[in-house]
Copies of this chain bind each other. A is one copy, B any other.
């Protein structure tokens, strides 16, 4: 595998942090790395497939699709360089519940999960570093999933909003603060109807619980109902 432009995105990925560029080539070998290019409208893998490798987007954009019980496919996420995908299911040895697809075309770096975990005989220090980075990454993903459940699991939209805003407020550490979502995305995250979200936000502002303008919010009553 040659180094070229598209491999430079590795540097920006937390998966490769604290790994020297000169060690990268050898490590890619340890990890059974292979690169693949996909044209427009290609399916990288389908839901139900067993996926023995994890992918990293080098260029282009990748969509994670999941079909619901009625068979409608909806987009769970858009993945751009240098994001990982499929690592959780590959590591867990589980079927992929999602389809991975590219609309625009994409270039992907695949890593063999078996080789990632079977640290090589000479146990290169950068391989250890890589596993540690991976472990931290999966753990952080776990934390964000927990936070989402904490929001979505609330009974009413008002409580969902409260949990969501409290989370972002404490994450940003200031008040007012901004959230990286527009209304539609926020409704999607909270699994509620967009217009209902607007409605409840307006109601909460009337009640003096919050103030907001676009995606800047301010909690005016720290103890919220």
Interface residues of A (CB under 8 A from B): 66, 69-70, 87-89, 91-94, 97, 117-119, 123, 128, 131-132, 134-136, 138-143, 145-150, 152-155, 159, 162-163, 166, 191-193, 223-225
List the 9 closest A-B pairs by CB distance, nearest first: A91-B139, A92-B139, A145-B145, A153-B191, A123-B123, A117-B132, A92-B140, A88-B142, A92-B143
Shortest beta-carbon distance from A182 to chain B in Å: 19
Q: Is B141 in contact with A142, judged by CB distance below 8 angstroms?
A: yes
Q: Could you say which residues of chain B place their CB within 8 Å of the CB of A66?
A: 150
Q: How far is the CA of A155 from the CA of B196 in the complex (A)?
A: 12
Q: Could you say which residues of chain B place their CB within 8 Å of the CB of A88?
A: 139, 142-143, 146
Copies of this protein in the assembly total: 2
Q: Could you say which residues of chain B place their CB within 8 Å of the CB of A145?
A: 142, 145-146, 149
Sample of 19 further A-B pairs with CB below 8 A, known A70-B225, A92-B136, A152-B191: A69-B162, A69-B166, A87-B139, A91-B139, A92-B139, A92-B140, A93-B136, A94-B140, A97-B146, A97-B147, A119-B119, A119-B128, A131-B131, A135-B135, A135-B138, A138-B138, A138-B139, A142-B142, A155-B193
Q: How far is the CA of A225 from the CA of B68 in the complex (A)?
A: 10
Sample 13 A-B pairs with CB under 8 A, ordered by A number. Answer: A69-B162, A69-B166, A89-B139, A92-B139, A94-B140, A118-B128, A119-B119, A119-B128, A131-B131, A135-B138, A138-B139, A142-B145, A153-B191
Q: Is B91 in contact with A135, judged by CB distance below 8 angstroms?
A: yes
